[in-house]
Amino acid sequence: MLALFRPHIMTCRVAAPRGVMRWFMELRGFTGFASCWGTIYLMESLTGEERTMVLRHEIAHMEQMAREGRLIMMTRYSYQLVRVGYRQNPYEKAARLREFVWHYAERALLAGRTTLIFPNVEEYS
């Protein structure tokens, strides 16, 4: 029970959504969802690069929960969702930024670069 309140290291598993979770994700148009019970759900239709990008985004949310504590993060997330909406939610902006940084760094390293120069990340948040 204390894990809901205190920040801690969180382990998670990745699964395809089933039942009510699948219905919820389809209803909301989600391709990925990070749950507070430690499961990242990814729709089976995701493949390749798209799957990797969505997984990175959801991992960022799992890190947010580990850092702040699940209950606190979900409460703050919900408050921001009501206050400013999905796109402007600071948790979503941070996850999109993290997703972009991982993608950019991976591409740069695969291209053989040893120095990474990040572009203006404001346009991605």
Tell me the DSSP string of 69-95: -HHHHHHHHHHHHHHH-TTT-HHHHHH
pLDDT at 5 over 70: no
- Mean local confidence (pLDDT), 45-63: 92
| End-to-end C-alpha distance for the chain, whole angstroms | 33
| pLDDT for position 1 | 44
pLDDT band at 12 (very low <50, low <70, confident <90, very high): confident
What ranges make up the beta strands (E) of 1-125? 13-15, 32-34, 39-42
Tokens of 105: 């760094």
pTM for the complete prediction?
0.79
Token couple for 53 = 């990008």
Residue 66 has pLDDT above 80, yes or no: yes
Measure CA 45 to chain center: 18
